[in-house]
Structure 1
Amino acid sequence: MKVNTRKLAAAGMMTALGVSLSAFSIPIGASRCFPIQHLLNVLAGVFLGPSYAVGFAFSTALIRNLMGTGSLLAFPGSMAGAFLGAVLFRYTGKVWTNFAGEILGTGVIGAMLCYPVASLLLGNQEAALFTYVLPFFISTAGGCILAAILLGAMYRSGTVRYLQGMLKGTEQ
């Protein structure tokens, strides 16, 4: 794989944003919604593509775990959503498929992938297969709503097209 230094730098900046803004949360019922990672997953899908999006999600989860501000559940959740959203966006070119991929990838697939992590690595024997679906779904829906607002403004101003061209190395 050829390394695109512009995409690598953008992924690094998104990782820094994901780590530094990970303390921002919104209380929803008995759970807390951490939408920034999901907002950034959607942006990574639009601007970076699947491989850089997964790398960014992995890096953010790794740094947060090393700092003690994250959990092992961040790995399957964020990476599955970033990958599925970016792949769907790449093949359709439609932003709504990125949102759908993020919600399905994180909210359902990633949440279900957390079951073996929780039961085997974290010792949570009470965890069921669908334990994390509702909290992950709430969090990813919040991030997708924020991403829709941000991307809507960016599309109207022409910023999305400009940044996509710049990250590919061809200014438009």
Structure 2
Amino acid sequence: MPQANTKLQKLIILSLMVALDVVLSPLFRIEGMAPMSSVMNIIGVTLMGPFYGTIMALTCGLLRMLLLGVPPLALTGAVFGAFLAGIGYKYSKNIYVAMLGEIIGTGLIGSLLSYPVMVWFTGSATNMYWFIYTPRFFGGAISGSLIGYLGFMKLEKITKFKRIQTLFKGEELDGYESKRPINE
């Protein structure tokens, strides 16, 4: 039964991160930029890893599209950044690599893929070119990554944050900590 409990805990934490992202992203939005999405991507991938971080970004993008009427830019802007940030952090354990992954994934890859998606979505390529979204996506990704870095530095000092990280890595905490449930 411990495995079912672990899966449930992971889903609960993922749900909380999705809820935070969906609520905070429109509150701290600059037209054409979503820096809070990058903040949540950085914190999400450092907490949950690349798989759950990417699932979080995908789910948040879909929810923002369905509930808030945001165009498909919500997906192209967040998913690639979360994936590259997660892979970068998983293999380097370095927040700077995660930030670089977020900036390249969102600022470059996401912005370039947004052009064909928006041409398809709007049905017109008039007044659009490949780099139309790049400045705003880079601006949002850079500012969001910096804020995410500051948030991560504060969260890293919290024992509960470290315990949740070990839950997503599938590791046991050493000594007394491993005997305590995560919800204590």
Identify the TM-score tier after normalising by the shorter chain: 0.7 to 0.9
Identity, in percent, stands at: 26
How far the C-alpha of 1:69 sits from its partner, in A, is: 3.8
Aligned length: 168
1:149-168 aligned at under 5 Å gives the runs 149-158=150-159, 160-167=161-168, 168=170
How far the C-alpha of 1:146 sits from its partner, in A, is: 1.0
Q: Which residue of structure 1 aligns with residue 181 of structure 2?
A: none
Higher share in helix: 2
Q: Distance in 1 between matches of 2:55 and 2:23?
A: 17
Instruction: Select the structure of larger CA radius of gyration.
Output: 2
Q: Which residue of structure 1 aligns with residue 18 of structure 2?
A: 15
Question: Under a length normalisation based on structure 1, what TM-score does the superposition of the two structures give?
Answer: 0.87
Q: Distance in 2 between matches of 1:157 and 1:25?
A: 25
Q: Distance in 2 between matches of 1:73 and 1:12?
A: 22
Q: Distance in 1 between matches of 2:69 and 2:91?
A: 34
Question: Under a length normalisation based on structure 2, what TM-score does the superposition of the two structures give?
Answer: 0.82
Indicate conservation of the 8 Å contact 1:33/1:135, yes or no.
Answer: yes
Indicate conservation of the 8 Å contact 2:32/2:137, yes or no.
Answer: no
Structure 1: runs of 5 or more not aligned: none
Q: Which residue of structure 1 aligns with residue 103 of structure 2?
A: 103
Q: Distance in 1 between matches of 2:61 and 2:128?
A: 21
Indicate conservation of the 8 Å contact 2:41/2:78, yes or no.
Answer: yes
Deviations, residues 113-153 of structure 1 (Å, cap 9, x unaligned) = 10110111222412211111110111111111111111112
Q: Which residue of structure 2 aligns with residue 43 of structure 1?
A: 43
Q: Which residue of structure 1 aligns with residue 90 of structure 2?
A: 90
State the one-letter code of the partner of 1:23: P
Indicate conservation of the 8 Å contact 1:151/1:160, yes or no.
Answer: no
State the one-letter code of the partner of 2:22: V
Q: 145-154 or 3-12: which moved more?
A: 3-12
State the one-letter code of the partner of 1:36: M
Over the residues paired in the alignment, what is the CA RMSD in angstroms? 2.1
Change (3 A) 1:76 1:26: closer
Q: Which residue of structure 1 aligns with residue 136 of structure 2?
A: 135
Indicate conservation of the 8 Å contact 1:25/1:33, yes or no.
Answer: no
